[in-house]
Amino acid sequence: MKNNATAVIIGGGVIGAAVAYELATRGMKDIILLEKSTLFSGATARCGAGVRQQWGTEMNLRLSIGSVKRYETLSEELDYKHGIEFSQSGYFMPAYTEKQIEQFQKNLELQRKFGLDVHFLKPNECRSVVPIVSLDGLLGATYYDKDGYLSPFHTTAAYAEAAKRKGVDIELYTEVIGFDVNDQKITRVQTNKGYIDCDYVVNAAGGWSQEIAKMAGVSLPLVSERHQILITEPIEPLFRPMVMSFYHGFYTQQEPNGAIIMGVGDPNEPKGYNMEHSFHFLHNVTKLVTQVLPAVGKARVLRQWSGLYNLSPDRTPILGTPSEINNMYLTVGFSGHGFMIAPMVATLTAQMITNEELLIPEVETKLDIGRFQRGELFVEPSVV
């Protein structure tokens, strides 16, 4: 391993790999990406892979629309022969209360201002999109056919391979264990395999990002929380879009081979790093999903697993540098939607580091860490 770098990126998930690519694309030399295990061994490979643009704030609309635009041509841009498997098979979001209907209508107005042709479906129209949806209690739904999903494995591999071709060193099984700090700057990254002197550090360590920050004396308002997910054996095609119910808290999707994935959060989940999985989850998610999509009940569960959400107080990412250390760039706190906005987050982070004009200048005042001290929490109405 080299002992000198311009930038050290910590974390080999989709965010770290994408930041490495974006920095290298801007001509930066001597970039080293450090991953304590294998590429995408964190939340990235464990995620639901969903990509939606149906958000209720301008910021999240900009982040997700910009990312989808990139995802549409990313295989070609990164010259990735396997393809990243981006399928725009839609997101269907059912509503069960008048309050949800009101919120969805508001979101839809904003989404249309951004050029998204999102549809509001009355209950009797919902089966034209999801033929197996139960009409019990259903008051309507929004549907956007340009939302979808893509492979987290291929996407991360595509970014990482393109970054490598541009000269980035990727060091696997290399764990960051500390920093040397001088005059509010990290001067040296300490790892289990030696040290690296550097100018910039990117903290893209997902569920462990608060631990990384702590090593530099920075206290981030982040916690990590287990989220579980399962996949069934393949069955005949039943539905195509991702079905995401804010009311029940679940998301589910049938993959092209017929397997169905589903996940739900647990309001009583203790914060921490537990990645075991539980019978309680299996019982709960199958009960909720079959209330809305009864035909899914015939599928047999194949496997379940879990990963970490990294949560900020407002469930919205933190980007930029903390006041204590001015060369540690944070790309943290993505909750359950870091994969879908990775291209924009990586671009913005690279723009910050290289002092370019930001594609979304408001990021500096709305997604900065200072917002928590100022009491200006970011309120996104459509987040699970």
Residues that bind ligand FAD (CB under 6 A): 10-16, 34-37, 41-44, 46-50, 175-176, 204-208, 212, 227, 229, 263, 307-309, 334, 336-340
Q: Would you call 21 helix, strand, or coil by DSSP?
A: helix
List Cα–Cα distances, 49 to 84, 97, 152, 181, 362, in angstroms. Answer: 11, 27, 6, 37, 27
Q: 236 vs 253, which CB is nearer to ligand FAD?
A: 253
**At closest approach, how far in Å is the CB of 208 from ligand FAD?**
4
Q: Nearest distance from residue 332's CB to ligand FAD, in Å?
A: 7
Which residue is associated with the tokens 């579980």? 228
Say how far apart CA 291 and CA 345 lie, in whole Å: 36
- Our CB check for ligand FAD shows the closer of 137 and 309 to be 309
Q: With respect to ligand FAD, which residue has the nearer C-beta, 123 or 197?
A: 197
Smallest distance, ligand FAD to C-beta of residue 127, A: 24
Residue 238: CB atoms within 10 A of its CB come to 16
Give the integer Cα–Cα distance in Å for 255 and 260. 6
As a three-state string, the secondary structure of 147-200 is CEECCHHHHHHHHHHHHHHCCCEEECCCCEEEEEEECCEEEEEEECCEEEEEEE
Of 139 and 274, which has the nearer Cβ to ligand FAD? 274
The smaller minimum CB distance to ligand FAD, of residues 227 and 371, is found at 227
In the complex, what is the shortest distance from the CB of residue 151 to ligand FAD, in angstroms, rounded to a whole number?
Answer: 12
Burial profile 32-57: b = 16 or more Cβ within 10 angstroms, e = fewer: bbbbbeebbbbbbbbbbbbbbbbbbb
Q: Which is nearer to ligand FAD, 227 or 240 (CB)?
A: 227
Q: In angstroms, give the least distance from the CB of 253 to ligand FAD.
A: 9
Half-sphere exposure in the Cβ direction for 229 (13 Å, CA)? 22
Per DSSP (E only), the strands in 204-338 are 223-232, 242-245, 250-254, 260-264, 301-311, 318-320, 328-332
CA–CA dist 340, 159 (Å, integer): 14
Q: Which is nearer to ligand FAD, 107 or 310 (CB)?
A: 310
Minimum distance from residue 282 beta carbon to ligand FAD (Å):
14
Among the listed residues 143, 13, 142, the one whose alpha carbon sits nearest the alpha carbon of residue 88: 143
Residue 250 beta carbon to ligand FAD: minimum distance, rounded to whole angstroms: 11
Q: Point out which residues pair with 230 in neighbouring strands.
A: 262, 304
What's the closest the beta carbon of residue 355 comes to ligand FAD, in angstroms? 23
Instruction: Tell me which residue of 50, 57, 11 sits closest to 340, measured CA to CA.
Output: 50
Q: Cα angle vertex 23, ends 313, 213, to 5°?
A: 35
Give whichever of 205 and 367 is closer to ligand FAD, judged by the CB atom: 205
